[in-house]
């Protein structure tokens, strides 16, 4: 007697080194088989044969010992029937072929290249008048959005910024406005006027030690209520400087983001949140080179964390051909240089920009940060969770580790 096995088209499965994962993209249910060669061989056959194959009696008995057939049904992964009944059953096909290049080809369609842009960050300037602020700043912008202070003061070219905004005006994206202190940028009011009536989701970033006086409060009042103003707080915390923002913090559309390096700073941030009644807040762990254990506790993921995140088949397909942490994102620095991440050299300059060509090159180059993902890097390429796992981010680049996890 032989059996016909089929896996439903909404199932993602992956097999590496005799470890096999079956993941239901509709329910989030999963089955993991470790060091199980028969299951691994079956998964490879299923992948090669459009999610369906027949197995003989000797294989059936082995799979039954692993309770495979019952697990298949219980988790809505697929089903098996006697092979003789095969003629009365419909043919099963996969919804999205992960090995098919059509998905990437659609990204490269020249007519729609600009639609690949998801997020643009503009650094209006690279300086601040708050001397205590500039002395305390660390190179945090290599890990997340954070102000930059440099010795040679520069401002971005407003004409070029407007040209870029014109190219993406019909494609609603995220626009981040940051700098050294953007309130000291000569372009600030022009940028605000440009973005107040746009379709984009706009975020303005300020450091809490930026001088907050009546003139700056008036400048802030010109920003549309539809946008989000983000106040960044790092440590050591100076309460007197934060108090200058007290009235602003109570307004709608304000988010406070805390940069934390250890558990003590998390506790201090929680006290600040309570004291100032901050409703919208966020924490950014910062890797300072010595707090690995803190990161292992607060950033690393385990197998349960990975499997608890529900993702669609399309999301998994795109994660196999791209990197969602960076895909569609560009950074325009105050000096005009363009980055995909500050952890890599610039890819161009705003003064010599052909946006469509730049996007096409990022899509075409297999090693571009837009495309490099955990299916092609060590040791993640040998892990069955590589597509489900959080994608490579600036944390991985700064730490020199691709596997910020505890999965063995």
User: How distant is the alpha carbon of residue 216 from its chain centre?
Assistant: 33
Q: Which of 200, 110, 133, 214 is nearest to 161 (CA)?
A: 200
**Dihedrals phi, psi of 82, to nearest 5 degrees:** -60, 135
Give the residues of the chain that fall short of pLDDT 50.
Answer: 92-96, 98, 100, 132
Q: What is the pLDDT of residue 139?
A: 83
Q: CB burial class (10 A; 0-12, 13-18, 19+) of residue 399?
A: middle
370, 118 Cβ separation under 8 angstroms: no
Domains of the chain, residue spans:
3-88, 106-399
DSSP state of 314: H
- Overall size of the chain counted in residues: 408
303, 385 Cβ separation under 8 angstroms: yes
Q: How far apart are CA 346 and CA 336, in angstroms?
A: 10
Helices (H), 203-245: 214-221, 239-243
387, 12 Cβ separation under 8 angstroms: yes
Instruction: Provide the pairing of β-strand 329-332 with 119-123.
Output: parallel
* Topology classification of domain 106-399: TIM Barrel (3.20.20)
Residue 391 vs residues 232, 247, 318: alpha-carbon distances, Å: 25, 38, 11
Q: What is the 3-state secondary structure (H, E, C) of 7-42?
A: ECCCEEEEEECCEEEEEECCCCCEEEECCCHHHHHH
**Dihedrals phi, psi of 391, to nearest 5 degrees:** -70, 165
Helix axis angle for 37-48 and 57-65, nearest 10°, is 120
Helix, coil or strand: residue 243: helix
Q: Which of 405, 295, 276, 393 is nearest to 341 (CA)?
A: 393
Residue 309 vs residues 103, 300, 316, 377, 394: alpha-carbon distances, Å: 23, 14, 12, 22, 20
Q: What is the pLDDT of residue 217?
A: 87
Q: Any residues with CB less than 8 A from the CB of 209 and at least 6 apart, and which?
A: 130, 132, 133, 136, 238, 241
Assessment of whether the complete model's pTM goes beyond 0.85: yes
Q: What is the pLDDT of residue 201?
A: 97
Cis peptide before 99 (omega within 30 of 0): no
**pLDDT, tens only, 286-300:** 999 999 999 999 999
Helix, coil or strand: residue 182: helix
What is the number of alpha carbons within 13 Å of residue 41 lying toward its C-beta? 9
Q: Which of 175, 136, 140 is nearest to 395 (CA)?
A: 140
Q: CB burial class (10 A; 0-12, 13-18, 19+) of residue 283?
A: middle
């Amino acid at each position: 007697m032989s059996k016909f096995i089929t896996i439903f088209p909404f199932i993602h499965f992956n097999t590496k080194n005799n470890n096999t994962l079956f993941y239901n993209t509709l329910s989030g249910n999963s089955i993991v088989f470790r060091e199980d060669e028969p299951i691994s061989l079956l998964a490879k056959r299923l992948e090669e044969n459009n999610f369906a194959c027949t197995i003989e009696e000797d294989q059936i008995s082995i799979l039954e010992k692993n309770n495979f057939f019952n697990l298949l049904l219980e988790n809505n992964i697929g089903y098996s029937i006697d092979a003789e009944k095969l003629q009365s059953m419909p043919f099963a096909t996969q919804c999205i072929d992960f090995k098919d290049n059509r998905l990437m080809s659609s990204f490269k369609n020249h007519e729609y290249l600009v639609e690949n842009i998801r997020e643009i960050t503009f650094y209006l300037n690279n300086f601040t008048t708050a001397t205590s602020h500039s002395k305390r700043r660390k190179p945090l912008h290599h890990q997340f959005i954070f102000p930059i202070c440099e010795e040679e003061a520069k401002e971005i070219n407003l004409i070029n910024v407007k040209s870029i905004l014109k190219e993406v005006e019909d494609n609603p994206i995220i626009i981040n406005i940051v700098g050294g202190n953007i309130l000291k940028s000569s372009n600030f009011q022009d940028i605000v006027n440009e973005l107040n009536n746009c379709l984009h989701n706009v975020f303005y970033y300020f450091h809490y030690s930026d001088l907050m006086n009546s003139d700056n409060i008036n400048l802030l009042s010109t920003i549309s209520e539809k946008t989000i103003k983000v106040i960044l707080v790092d440590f050591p915390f100076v309460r007197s400087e934060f108090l200058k923002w007290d009235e602003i913090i109570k307004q709608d559309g304000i988010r406070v983001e805390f940069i934390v390096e250890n558990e003590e700073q998390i506790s201090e941030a929680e006290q600040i949140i309570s004291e100032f009644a901050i409703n919208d807040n966020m924490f950014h762990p910062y890797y300072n080179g010595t707090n690995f254990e803190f990161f292992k506790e607060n950033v690393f993921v385990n197998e349960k964390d990975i499997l608890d995140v529900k993702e669609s088949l399309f999301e998994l397909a795109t994660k196999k051909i791209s990197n969602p942490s960076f895909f569609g994102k560009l950074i325009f620095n105050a000096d005009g240089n363009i980055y995909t991440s500050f952890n890599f050299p610039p890819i161009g300059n705003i003064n010599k920009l052909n946006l469509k060509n730049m996007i096409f090159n990022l899509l075409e180059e297999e090693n571009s940060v837009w495309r490099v993902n955990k299916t092609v890097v060590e040791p993640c390429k040998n892990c069955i969770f590589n597509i489900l796992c959080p994608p490579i981010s600036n944390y991985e680049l700064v730490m020199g580790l691709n596997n910020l996890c505890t999965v063995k």
